[in-house]
Structure 1
Amino acid sequence: MCLKNRIIWYFALITALTVHGKHNVTNPRPNIIIFLVDDMGIMDTSVPFFVNTKGEVEKHPLNDWYHTPNMERLAKLGTRFSTFYAQSVCSPSRISILTGQNAARHRTTQWIHPIVNNRGKFGPEDWRWEGIENTHKNLLSQRLKSEGYQTIFVGKGHLGAIGTHAEEPLRLGFDYNIGGNAWGSPGSYLGQDNYAHPKKKNQVPHLESYHGKPVFLTEALTLEANKKISQAVQADIPFFLEMSHYAVHRPFIFDKRFKSKYTSNIYSKEAQKFASMVEGMDTSLGDILNHLETLGIADNTLIFFMGDNGSDAPIGNPHDIASVAPLRGKKGTHYEGGTRIPFMVAWAKPNKNNRWQKRIPIVQGAINQKLGTIMDIYPTVLDMLGLEKPHDYSIDGHSLYLILTGKKDEARPNDFLMHFPHEHRSSYFTSYRKGNWKLIYHYFPEMNPAQERYELYNLSNDHDETKNLYQKEPKILAYMMTTMLEKLEAENALFPIDKNEATLKPFLKK
């Protein structure tokens, strides 16, 4: 081999070891934090996410009600999305994060009741109440663990029912689990209550050292997360942390650290409690950001901030324009307020000299209007780290890498399928957005407020979904129905059944 070729080979080898090695002391892979907030919608923050028809960012009264200075800090550090979607309830979204698959495909299409199968009277019998199956080998946590990451789970699990494989995050590729089990809400947020309800079994586990102490659950989980971050840094291992807060899920309890800020003649006592819990969550974000700075690893840590479904703020009725105003609906509904979530990605500290930030130069202080979904996180992380997608495994999400770095992604799809064959605030529906058009199909029209089988909205000029155009736009309705059904079939979706146990598939009336 000639000298020139040897030099080329040497530098190629060094590059490969640096980029693809499991851990490299000089250029370690970036740490990754998924900061997941339960039941937080896009208006539950002082950071404006809403963009009007002119493409302008708009603040609304709810943005002035909440105080989230650390979300504001993160927004300046990176890019936030105005139109980012999750499932309408929690367990399906949480499994989508780890699998990269839509709920229609992974089949946990309803929140998981920890004790009884809550498929509903007409729900499909084969839906995955058990959560993530025990044969799964391609979870994001499993993949990162195999690449040398220390994998840490802190907070709410809700990935499987009691007694199932997925009840325990340690079986899902995580090295550590603090607080995660089958329950979707804490018995209490108060350390004085030992984070338990006196008559229920949903005590948050692994927090015995805080029992009897005046430490709010959100703070306790943050303290434990920071301990695990320190341990990973001391061991010189890159870490993946899923910081999965129980907040701001019910029960609504004042976080007394912030209670005095939320007194109002407009908002109820329950809404005031909710707002204090939002600020407690925000303080957790700030505490983690500060801890990363103290440890000197902020510039090598990526943060993905998101909710898991639409807002559950106790303001107004579920299908009203209220808790997510100016959008309609809230958690558990088929309207935009039920599925739009806050989503931001940022380096915890900008550093133009950091090698990974040169490779992934996330645009700072930007708001992106491209449609994104919670399934996109999985392929985005793999793309950022230069890892191949698993073979013979379906991923419904698409990488956000190009968008986050300020480039165009012409090949990126512009649609979102939300399939919910169960009972909740909105029951037995499939919604499908493509471009500016949104279709909602009702399997039982009599169960929805519109009392119609079809709802068709042009979101470009009807963001509050008040002008149902399905009768005026039959060609668009037909196109949307055809495309939606193709997506459902491609993802091998399960459908509701009727009283005779016959499968109900979407159809277009002639």
Structure 2
Amino acid sequence: MLVRLRLGTLKRLCFGLFAAALVCGGHVNASAATAEQPNIVIIVGDDMGYSDVGFNGSKEIPTPHLDALAAAGTKFTNGYVSGPYCSPTRAGLLTGRYQTRFGHEFNPSAAKNAGLPLTERTIADRLRGAGYRTGLVGKWHLGSSPDRHPNSRGFDEFFGFIAGAHPYMPGQGPPIFRNREKVKETEYLTDALGREAVAFIDRHQKEPFFLYLAFNAVHTPMEAQEERMAKFAHIKDTKRRQYAAMMAAMDDAIGSVLAELDKTGLSDNTLVFFFSDNGGPTMATTATNGSINAPLRGSKRTTLEGGVRVPFLAKWPGKIPAGKSYDLPVIQLDATRTALVAGGADQANDKMLEGVDLLPYLAGKNAAAPHEALFWRFGEQMAVRKGDWKLVKYDPVVDGGKKGATDARLYNLASDLSEEKNLIAEEPEKAKELQAAWEEWNKSNVPPLWGQNEGKAEAKNKKGKAKRRAAAAAAE
């Protein structure tokens, strides 16, 4: 009967027997002793508005494929990311640790060695060590030096771009790479990323795989195809209409990935996570994209809910309940730990990992909250959420003020989701409790490896030097 099993299944059964034997000898975590390793797909959107998906109530922008994913899995109504900015969130996801533990607090500067520190092991490193084929499709944004390239950080295969943003229309912007080789792309970039993700699944359907699909949609520049724009002619604001079309493109690409999992018969044994890297950029000091975070207040680059609470889904038939909502706070670090446990790559004594395995909580085996508290540090801004209470210092640009950080504000999110009523005067002891918890957490953080605006300053300086050299050459 075994001869009829596909090669990948045999390989996974062998892994399970090997892992079980090791467990009997007391050498590895019992979570590795699974009969068959699941495939793992983590999909990340970029700069999405909290309310701009159907499963969070959007009527203006249909997202049928994401809604289908939500219906087949669990929606996290209190799903967070560990940073309000693109690269820090990705650093947290790939390591399973708060990025402030290793200095990746801001987007990398233009310095040669800026990026995810080489001291950190990635989820791809760990899963590859457990027998997975690992692939990244899309945005990297964790360093550009050769030793920080995705192929040097655990990914067997890479298709995408290295920097933090990229134009969508073909023939524009920095290079697109296949591994370390530049390639010429002829499709709209979001469509191309969907195509490459499908091809990765097709190539590796007979072996366990980990696919990290990191879209740059809906990050600026705002570039949408006319045929998709036409579907949103009812939206009068041009930027919002472009945003809707770009969201539709990403939803279509995700639909193609889910369809490929169905086509290859892999859906039932594939763990899928989806979330945005941060909230939508809606305030003046960000490159706005037409997103809407309501009813949340705040924006990308703030520690208010609008910066760090994001659309968040998980699906694994038979392991994660379908069509359910989970209301206790979770964070993207949990996706890392959950994937590692499921794939047999987790080690229970690894204190470096800070997320939790969500499966016992989602299955109802553990009714406690996955986290006693969640924490954020972003320069002068900070936040801690403990139960329904949140203490936060945020960028006052959101309120029309000058850049920096407010004094501490205390909110009860159960009754004040929009963080409008500051209760610090009424609840001083609760504020002290949360501040003490944050300060204890902060003891294990390190100073940022680079400043918040270093990259922009260096790029501006570089551009200025280029202009001066061109002017000098013209004068000669």
Q: Contact (CA 8 Å) 1:44, 1:311: kept in 2 or not? A: no
Unaligned 5+ segments in structure 2 are 1-12, 23-33, 452-476
Instruction: Show the 5 A alignment for 1:6-405.
Output: 16-17=16-17, 28-48=36-56, 59=57, 63-86=58-81, 87-113=83-109, 115-116=110-111, 130-136=114-120, 138-160=121-143, 162-163=144-145, 165-166=147-148, 168-181=149-162, 183-186=163-166, 188-191=167-170, 194=171, 196-197=172-173, 202-206=174-178, 211=185, 213=186, 215-233=187-205, 236-264=206-234, 268-312=237-281, 323-347=292-316, 350=317, 357=318, 361-389=319-347, 391=349, 393-405=351-363
Distance 1:328 1:433 in 2: 15
- The structural deviation recorded for 1:471 is 2.3
Question: Aligned partner of 1:204: which letter?
Answer: I
Aligned to 1:120: none
- The structural deviation recorded for 1:495 is 11
Question: CA offsets per residue over residues 80-137 of structure 1, 9 Å max, x none?
Answer: 1001111100111101111110122132111224x259xxxxxxxxxxx82222233x
Q: Contact (CA 8 Å) 2:16, 2:35: kept in 1 or not? A: no
Taking structure 1 as reference, are residues 313 and 300 closer, same or farther at Cα in structure 2, changes over 3 Å only? farther
Q: Contact (CA 8 Å) 1:103, 1:419: kept in 2 or not? A: no
Q: Contact (CA 8 Å) 1:383, 1:401: kept in 2 or not? A: no
Distance 1:88 1:451 in 2: 14
- The structural deviation recorded for 1:139 is 1.6
Q: Contact (CA 8 Å) 2:54, 2:64: kept in 1 or not? A: yes
TM (norm. structure 1) is: 0.75
Taking structure 1 as reference, are residues 20 and 331 closer, same or farther at Cα in structure 2, changes over 3 Å only? farther
Question: CA offsets per residue over residues 315-343 of structure 1, 9 Å max, x none?
Answer: 99999x98211111121122111111111
Taking structure 1 as reference, are residues 450 and 96 closer, same or farther at Cα in structure 2, changes over 3 Å only? closer
Question: CA offsets per residue over residues 209-255 of structure 1, 9 Å max, x none?
Answer: 664x4x2101111111211211112xx22110001111111001113
Aligned to 2:5: none
Distance 1:289 1:144 in 2: 21
Taking structure 1 as reference, are residues 444 and 495 closer, same or farther at Cα in structure 2, changes over 3 Å only? farther
Taking structure 1 as reference, are residues 158 and 452 closer, same or farther at Cα in structure 2, changes over 3 Å only? closer
Unaligned 5+ segments in structure 1 are 1-12, 49-58, 118-128, 351-356, 422-427, 498-510
- The structural deviation recorded for 1:418 is 0.9
Distance 2:419 2:396 in 1: 20
Question: Aligned partner of 1:132: which letter?
Answer: L
- The structural deviation recorded for 1:312 is 2.9
Taking structure 1 as reference, are residues 386 and 429 closer, same or farther at Cα in structure 2, changes over 3 Å only? same
Q: Contact (CA 8 Å) 1:432, 1:484: kept in 2 or not? A: yes
Question: CA offsets per residue over residues 272-313 of structure 1, 9 Å max, x none?
Answer: 101111111111111011111222222221111111111236
Aligned to 1:465: 419
Taking structure 1 as reference, are residues 243 and 45 closer, same or farther at Cα in structure 2, changes over 3 Å only? same
Q: Contact (CA 8 Å) 2:165, 2:216: kept in 1 or not? A: yes
Farther-moved stretch of structure 1 (26-35 vs 97-106): 26-35
TM (norm. structure 2) is: 0.80
Distance 1:318 1:463 in 2: 25
- The structural deviation recorded for 1:442 is 6.2
Aligned to 1:507: none
Taking structure 1 as reference, are residues 493 and 315 closer, same or farther at Cα in structure 2, changes over 3 Å only? closer
Taking structure 1 as reference, are residues 323 and 442 closer, same or farther at Cα in structure 2, changes over 3 Å only? closer
Taking structure 1 as reference, are residues 298 and 21 closer, same or farther at Cα in structure 2, changes over 3 Å only? farther
Distance 2:225 2:281 in 1: 17
Equivalent residue for 2:389, pick from 437, 442, 466? 437
Aligned residues, how many? Answer: 422
CA RMSD of aligned residues (A): 3.3
Distance 1:177 1:385 in 2: 21
- The structural deviation recorded for 1:385 is 3.3
Question: CA offsets per residue over residues 65-93 of structure 1, 9 Å max, x none?
Answer: 11100011101111010011111001111
Query: Aligned with 1:293: secondary structure?
Result: helix
Query: Aligned with 1:70: secondary structure?
Result: helix
Question: CA offsets per residue over residues 255-285 of structure 1, 9 Å max, x none?
Answer: 33421121245x5201110111111111111
Distance 1:291 1:301 in 2: 12
